[in-house]
Structure 1
Amino acid sequence: MIKNTSYGYGALAILFHWAMALLIVGMLALGLYMSGLPQTDPQTFALFQLHKSIGFVVLLFAVLRLLWRAVNPSPKLPSHMPVWEKGIAHLGHTGLYAMMFLLPLSGWLMVSASPWGIPTIVFNLFEMPHLPVPGFLGDKASAEAILKLVHEYGAYFLIALIIGHVAAAMKHHFISRDETLRRMISVRMQRTD
């Protein structure tokens, strides 16, 4: 089944979830690795270009995923969950979606603000144009520094959200013993409405 039901996720939602999970974890690992490289390292330029290229894929998938979610609502949370736990789950998901947009956009703006003017060549296929940098961020060097902090601390916040998300999934699977994790793994968890 492609679409979600009120009980389980459809194939497209599951595909989006796991593809985004792999891309985002890969991006975080790559970002942490390349941020430790000296600017003179021969790998640095290629890794930054790869990081930016994958960032555009993440941004595209985030838009498509949000559009799919708008026309194909998520299944209900388990009925046994307390209201406070449902609230935390909604906050966590909102945070994850926010970071899926904030990180690629802050990275794109950071590159656009850079006084170096280095182009972004997406997968060595085409150049992505720079965005206009908001004037309230100051001159290009100041804007780049602010956006770098937003991007960096946003990545750390996303890591914390992912750890919380995985911990919640494990709690549901091993402690609550409900279907929460299983329904994001297989469409067989669906029941017809």
Structure 2
Amino acid sequence: MWRNSRSGWGLISILFHWLSALTIIGLFALGWWMTDLGYYDPWYNQGPWVHRSIGILLLFATLARLVWRFVQPTPRAEGSRLETIAAHLGHIALYVLVLGVMVSGYLISTADGRGISVFGWFEVPALLYDLPNQASLAGDIHWYSALALMILAGVHALAALKHHWLDKHATLVRMLNPAYSTRNNSK
């Protein structure tokens, strides 16, 4: 139930997927909302601090998720050959965009040489800073990568719904129910 099988996702992969999805959507909404904050708004400093802290935690979770994905079997894909290739490329693009958003966010936050305090629990040091236009360039990459990520995540969700409702595949069920993996492991 905890581990993946060739027929379904295990509980750890499912939790990584849904917690990441909710966190990414929340960070996007918070980031968009922060762009309208005025200097005297009480969240002017608090919002970015929360955004950065959650972003760093998501970066660590994403790295752990990637390690987990490499050491676990991947369930067999359902659909045509073209759909299988598109799904594989789509997942790679999602991971690249997630990492690109987080790395560019890190570069924005550390452009002045200061580390990132994560909820006051620990600090992530600034390893690369004082590059020409670092905050501005990283900011553009962060924003456009985040927009592309939201669009691709929407396509990903629509594809899952298409597989579930139109094709009658178990693709969505496998990402919702870890018991599916153990019940159908013999197939």
Provide the TM-score with structure 1 as the length reference.
0.89
Q: What does 1:79-118 align with in structure 2 at a 5 Å threshold?
A: 81-114=79-112
Name structure 2 gaps, 5 residues minimum. none
SS in 1 for 2:9: coil
Could you tell which deviates more after superposition, 119-128 or 25-34? 119-128
Aligned counterpart, 1:5: 5
Q: What does 1:26-41 align with in structure 2 at a 5 Å threshold?
A: 26-41=26-41
Task: State the alpha-carbon separation in 2 of the partners of residues 168 and 4 from structure 1.
Answer: 21
Aligned counterpart, 2:142: 151
Q: Is the Cα contact below 8 Å between 2:114 and 2:126 reproduced in 1?
A: no
Shift of 1:12: 0.7
Aligned counterpart, 2:185: 192
Shift of 1:24: 0.8
Task: State the alpha-carbon separation in 1 of the partners of residues 29 and 138 from structure 2.
Answer: 20
Q: What does 1:124-163 align with in structure 2 at a 5 Å threshold?
A: 124-133=120-129, 138-139=131-132, 142-163=133-154
Shift of the 119–45 alpha-carbon distance from structure 1 to 2, 3 Å rule, reads: farther
Task: State the alpha-carbon separation in 1 of the partners of residues 38 and 118 from structure 2.
Answer: 22
Task: State the alpha-carbon separation in 2 of the partners of residues 36 and 42 from structure 1.
Answer: 13
Q: Is the Cα contact below 8 Å between 1:122 and 1:128 reproduced in 2?
A: yes
Task: State the alpha-carbon separation in 2 of the partners of residues 73 and 127 from structure 1.
Answer: 34
Task: State the alpha-carbon separation in 2 of the partners of residues 40 and 92 from structure 1.
Answer: 41
Shift of 1:188: 2.2
Q: What is the count of residue pairs matched by the alignment?
A: 184
Task: State the alpha-carbon separation in 2 of the partners of residues 71 and 120 from structure 1.
Answer: 30
Q: Deviations over 1:127-175 (max 9, x none)?
A: 3211213x8xx52xx1211110000000000001110011001101111
SS in 2 for 1:113: coil
Q: Which amino acid aligns with 1:52?
A: R
Aligned counterpart, 1:64: 64
Task: State the alpha-carbon separation in 1 of the partners of residues 179 and 169 from structure 2.
Answer: 15
Q: Is the Cα contact below 8 Å between 2:23 and 2:58 reproduced in 1?
A: yes
Task: State the alpha-carbon separation in 2 of the partners of residues 39 and 62 from structure 1.
Answer: 32
Shift of 1:118: 5.7
Shift of 1:17: 0.7
Q: Which amino acid aligns with 1:173?
A: H
Task: State the alpha-carbon separation in 2 of the partners of residues 103 and 84 from structure 1.
Answer: 28
Shift of 1:192: 2.2
